[in-house]
Structure 1
Amino acid sequence: MTDHVVVRTRRGPSGKVVTALAKSGVATSHEAHGRRGLLGPELRPIYPGARIAGRAVTVLSHPGDNLMIHASIEQCREGDILVVATTSRSTDGMFGDLFATQLLHRGVRGLVTDAGVRDIADLQAMGFPVWSRAVHAQGTAKAVAGSVNVPIVVAGQLVNPGDIIVADDDGVLCVPLTEGEAVVEAAAKREAGEEAKRLRFREGELGLDLYDMRPQLERLGVRYVDADEPEETR
């Protein structure tokens, strides 16, 4: 018989790392992480504008069954993000406003799920952000065992309990716990460099010149030619 477990753990990042990665956001943190760690683009926010980061509390559920989400809630603490996978593909609405009410009481910052959610208007009104594969009103059972705080794969990306989840309008990123501080440092350097470039672009400089890409165009055989224009337009 499969071993179903609820693992109690306090493994997770420091608040300083979480705050810094939330500020940097998904795109910058992804680049700073060596362009690794993105969850698939099929996971989309249910409403725009949310930007969060936090410790992953992971859930492995049977498709169409949310029993283990119920079991996971007492393992959540302030600043966490609940991350839910199913053992096979599912779009059923496994999560709604009653779950969010419990999680908000515990200070959980949001949900990332490879399945579906419902009660979208209520979740938005509550200010509880969700990134999901689907929005679907299909109800679920509470009958099949799974596990909490075990390694899971969500939208093609491995997520371990205690890893750092970053989520915003650009998608969802997982940063392994052991690499969080290095990504924060790399992201800060990247942001400083981008601000310097932004100032030069505002002055009219082109990326072609800032990045010295004209020689690359030439090496690739790209030629500049003048269009033949009618006499009256000259």
Structure 2
Amino acid sequence: MSSPHVVVTDIQRADSATIDALAPLGSATVHEAMGRIGYAGPRIRPIQQDAAIAGSAITVSCAPGDNLMVHAAIEQSRAGDVIVVVPVTDSPYGFIGELMATQMQVRGVRAYVTSGGVRDTGELRNMGFPVWTAHVSAEGTVKDTPGSVNVPVVLGGVQVNPGDIVVADDDGVTIVPRDRAVATLQAAQARAAKEAANRLRYQAGEISMDLNDLRPVLADLGVAFVSQEEYEDGGR
């Protein structure tokens, strides 16, 4: 019988130019461009500000309070990757700190994302190594429980497969399936271009009520415009 715990090697990744082009578009735009899917939720937050990255997911499924498989994942990583760690149950421990991040940074790993926790956050910021996490905790981990590397995991309700694209910034983390990378990039670029055009119109004094034709929407929903005097007189 084969082991339920594996380290999968030599995963497939999306085209590096496509990945790099997604980073400046940001997690919110990419989330919207995919039809409002892929966002890993508000619990996964950055420990830093003004970092925007995209990279290929190296996934880790590990036991709570045990970072053994994160060490195995570092060995499988290469430049441009993002290590995504999901404990099998909620686990507010510091799974990595400065020393493990140093290994990742030297190998060219772009970021670390986890539904677990991290520590040494000041040092990580000083290193310029971006992290998105559900917990910050000084409490460390052990290294004695098996898990798996590069298998499907669920981060904040979103399935992450090895080689999927992680897009992360101040707004959080969005996961792009590897086979949707090019289509998502095109849709996100189109959305960004539309927003840029709208921004110019707003800067010229137009407002979203008119630009988005929202007055008929309000009318259809039964929202009435009344003066303060009419409102206070009950004239609604």
TM bin (shorter chain): over 0.9
2:134 equivalent in structure 1: 133
CA distance in 2, matches of 1:154, 1:222: 39
CA distance in 1, matches of 2:221, 2:149: 52
Alpha-carbon separation, structure 2, partners of 1:139 and 1:194: 44
TM-superposed CA distance for 1:111, in Å, is 0.3
Q: Which of structure 1's runs of 4+ aligned residues deviate more than 6 A?
A: none
Aligned partner of 1:40: which letter?
G
Mapped to 1, the partners of 2:17 and 2:142 lie a distance apart of: 39
RMSD: 1.2
Shift of 1:10: 3.5
Matches within 5 A, 1:143-162: 143-162=144-163
Aligned to 1:228, what secondary structure does the other structure show? helix
Residues of 2 paired with 1:31 and 1:40: CA distance?
14
Q: State the one-letter code of the partner of 1:38.
A: Y
The AA in structure 1 aligned to 2:172 is G
Distance 1:73 1:217 in 2: 53
CA–CA distance in 2 between the matches of 1:85 and 1:217? Answer: 43
What is aligned with 2:76? Answer: 75
| Deviation at residue 25 of structure 1 after TM alignment | 0.7
Which residue number in structure 2 is paired with residue 205 of structure 1?
206
Name the structure 2 match of 1:232: none
Letter in 2 for 1:129: P
The equivalent residue for 2:224 is 223
Structure 1 residue 3, shift from structure 2 partner:
1.5
Kindly provide the amino acid, as one letter, of the partner of residue 82 in structure 2. Answer: I
**CA displacement 1:45-68 (0-9 Å, x = unmatched):** 011111100000001110000000
In 2, Cα distance between equivalents of 1:75 and 1:4? 15
1:163 aligns with 2:164: yes
Match of 2:89 in 1: 88
Identity of aligned pairs, percent? 52
**How many angstroms does 1:109 deviate by?**
0.4
Partner-residue secondary structure (3-state), 1:4? coil
Amino acid corresponding to residue 205 of structure 2 in structure 1: G
Q: Secondary structure of the equivalent of 1:111? A: strand
Deviation, 1:155, is 1.5
Deviation at 1:89, TM superposition (A): 1.1
State whether residues 11 and 162 of structure 2, in contact with CA within 8 Å, keep that contact through their aligned partners in structure 1.
no
Matched, 1:17 2:18: yes
Name the aligned partner's letter for residue 183 of structure 2. A
Q: Distance in 2 between matches of 1:46 and 1:18?
A: 22
Q: Deviations over 1:73-99 (max 9, x none)?
A: 110000100000011111111110111
Question: TM-score, normalising length from structure 2?
Answer: 0.94
Per the alignment, residue 63 of structure 1 pairs with: 64
Distance in structure 2 (CA, Å) of the matches to 1:212 and 1:40: 30
Q: Which residue of 2 aligns with 1:107?
A: 108
The amino acid that maps onto 2:111 is G
Q: Which residue of 1 aligns with 2:55?
A: 54
